[in-house]
Amino acid sequence: HDAGKYSPTLGFDECREAIAEMERELFGVTLDIENIIVGQSSTQLTHDLFITLANPGDKILLFDPTYANYPGQIKMALRDAKIVRQRVLDVGRWEYKSEEEMAEDFKEIYEREKPKIVLFPSPDNPSSQVFGDNFVKTIADVCHEGNSFMIIDYAYKTQCFITPPSYFSWSPSDYPNMIAVHSNSKWGRGLGRRLGWVDASPEVIDAMERVQQCSILCPDTMHQFAFMAYLKRALRNGSLKRYLEEVKEGYRKAAEVTIEAIKEYLDMPCLVPQGGLYTLMKVGEDSDEFVKRVLKNTGVLFIPGRGFGESLKEAVRISYGPHVENTDVIKEGFKRVAEYLGKS
């Protein structure tokens, strides 16, 4: 029976076509199926991308803060790789640096280190900030000049609360050194459904096919069947756009409640989310210790910042994602923490 068969390593053509249509419809990205490889998740695809694009001793540029899983993934895929970090958060003012400042820092670090890959999520985990067009254009141009790759991790692309930047619609035919990684986890609120895809130039997709042959052989057949059937129907009847708007609105409201509750109960510096599921709060002491004592005394869990980069050693990540359907829990959490810290 068809559901039990291996699919092609790149994924079913029909599934890749449905993805191309969806990206065109939602973001205006122009893609052919030779720009797309379907994989098991963005985690697996990112791992395969490191192997495809870089040599074991190459340098990889990550921002600070950034997604905590990247350093481990890099070390596993490329044993001798050197991770270079660029700080983007002004810890004193507790806000992101200006685009101009980030672009200048980037050019300087790139010139010195010559990284093979520059990787970042947009919207970001853990900061929920969205890099602006000018900065991303600088990264793209510099990578193009220097024969490096810019990978944008779009795990939270459909959850962007601000006007989406124009690079959300860039196509690999315009920017051959740009690679977009997509996850099926967050946008469909189905973290355990392991499927993702990559958009890239046909040369990169061709090379990834050979790597993926050795890593997972092919993406899951049943999930592809379900995904392409859903995409086709939901694009045709307009329900996909409605669904995504609803989900985004839920997260946006939960983000608002979180920021208001921080102001009301704790009055600690935090970042207003521009998309995604998180905010960062500056606690002004070692966050590993803060998290342990707050959890023990209140039952409220913050995520210590250090894993996302040195700039967050005195900060915590707050995830409002699990509480979109009951935002009162968010307020209750901050109230308890305020009482414990003697702030109420």
Ligand X SMILES: Cc1ncc(COP(=O)(O)O)c(C=O)c1O
Q: E strands along the chain, which residues?
A: 36-39, 59-64, 82-87, 89-90, 95-96, 117-121, 149-153, 178-183, 196-199, 278-282, 303-304, 315-319
Among 30, 43, 215, 221, binds ligand X (CB under 6 A): 43
Rank residues 177 and 183 by Cβ distance to ligand X and give the closer one: 183
Among 61, 139, 140, 155, binds ligand X (CB under 6 A): 155
Rank residues 35 and 183 by Cβ distance to ligand X and give the closer one: 183
Q: Which residue has the tokens 């040195």?
A: 310
23 binds ligand X (CB under 6 A): no
Among 121, 219, 275, 305, binds ligand X (CB under 6 A): 121
With b for 16 or more beta-carbon neighbours within 10 A and e for fewer, the 163-196 pattern comes to ebbebbebbbeebebbbbbbbbbbbbeeeeebbb
Q: How many CB atoms lie within 10 A of CB 283?
A: 20
By beta carbon distance, the residue nearest ligand X is 183
212 binds ligand X (CB under 6 A): no
165 binds ligand X (CB under 6 A): no
Among 41, 159, 201, 319, binds ligand X (CB under 6 A): 41
153 binds ligand X (CB under 6 A): yes
**Structure tokens belonging to residue 125:** 């985990």
220 binds ligand X (CB under 6 A): no
Cβ contacts of 291 within 8 Å, gap of 6 or more = 301, 302, 303, 304, 316
Calpha distance 85→152 (Å, rounded): 16
Q: Which residue has the tokens 């990540």?
A: 317
Among 7, 9, 35, 42, binds ligand X (CB under 6 A): 42
Rank residues 70 and 265 by Cβ distance to ligand X and give the closer one: 70
Residue 145 beta carbon to ligand X: minimum distance, rounded to whole angstroms: 27
Contact residues for ligand X, defined by CB under 6 A: 41-43, 67, 121, 125, 153, 155, 183, 185, 191, 196
